[in-house]
Amino acid sequence: MSHLILVRHGQSEWNLQKRFTGWVDVDLTANGKLEACKAGELIKDLNIEITYFYSSYQKRALNTLKLILNTIRTKNEKIIKAWELNERHYGELTGLNKDDMKKKYGEDKIFKFRRSWDISPGPLSKDNPYHALNIDAYSDIPRDKIPDTESLKNTYDRVVKYYSENIKNNLDKNILVAAHGNSIRALCKHLFDLDNEAISKLEIPTGNPLLITIDNNTVKNAKYLDNSRAKNLLKF
């Protein structure tokens, strides 16, 4: 029996401003840092030894994980960074205010962009300063791997491929992954066998660790550690 802990980063600067963030590398707010520290306390209270620590390339996830590690004071602090765990790319919506876009395009269309399985926003221009090609944090990612836009399906494909090739084989140990709303939704779809309609209803709260119990590579149970901020997992 082992545990896979999934943590969405704490509140980011653009979460607070209600902007589509995607691959833009924004940091945590003061409240986001507090959420990360609270996540660390909740994980520490489990009194389990965690062997592997994974994060996306993005500083809001990476700094969330660092704050968790500082809180639990683990002896093993080697972080494995994977761009495949990055947030979904929001294409031409990147940087725009969500409320403004709802007024411009209507709530239904924005909901489809945000929650549907295989609908992508239009591509972000490669000369846009928010494009990942122009962000230093991604300089070592092969250029042909950097998207201009993504659907949840695109995100699922890269996240689950990485999980299957790099994380799954380590599930005999306890693992902590710090990532993003859509990369965690993708993992939950895979792990919980959620259909395309169900995944549109799954919400992932910031800074609330999701504890998944694994036995022989099979998910046995899942629960949020902060029940007061838990969301419906649709499966458990």
Q: What percent of the chain is predicted at pLDDT more than 70?
A: 99
User: Model-level pTM?
Assistant: 0.95
pLDDT tens profile 125-155 = 999 999 999 999 999 999 999 999 999 999 9
Tell me what pLDDT residue 234 has: 85
Q: Is the pLDDT of residue 27 over 90?
A: yes
Task: Give the pLDDT of residue 75.
Answer: 64
List 9, 89, 131, 180, catalytic entry: 9
87 flagged as catalytic: yes
Number of structural domains in the chain: 1
Q: Which of 3, 35, 84, 87 is catalytic?
A: 87
β partners of residue 45: none
Q: Can you give the pLDDT at residue 81?
A: 97
pLDDT tens for 174-214 read 999 999 999 999 999 999 999 998 998 999 999 999 999 99
The verdict on residue 59 lying in a domain is: yes
Task: Establish if 22 belongs to a structural domain.
Answer: yes
Q: Is residue 234 part of a domain?
A: no
Q: What is the 3-state secondary structure (H, E, C) of 148-203?
A: CCCCHHHHHHHHHHHHHHHHHHHCCCCEEEEECHHHHHHHHHHHHCCCHHHHCCCC
Whole domain around residue 12: which residue ranges?
A: 2-229
pLDDT for 76 equals 59
CATH of the domain at 99: 3.40.50.1240
Instruction: Please check whether residue 193 lies inside any domain of the structure.
Output: yes
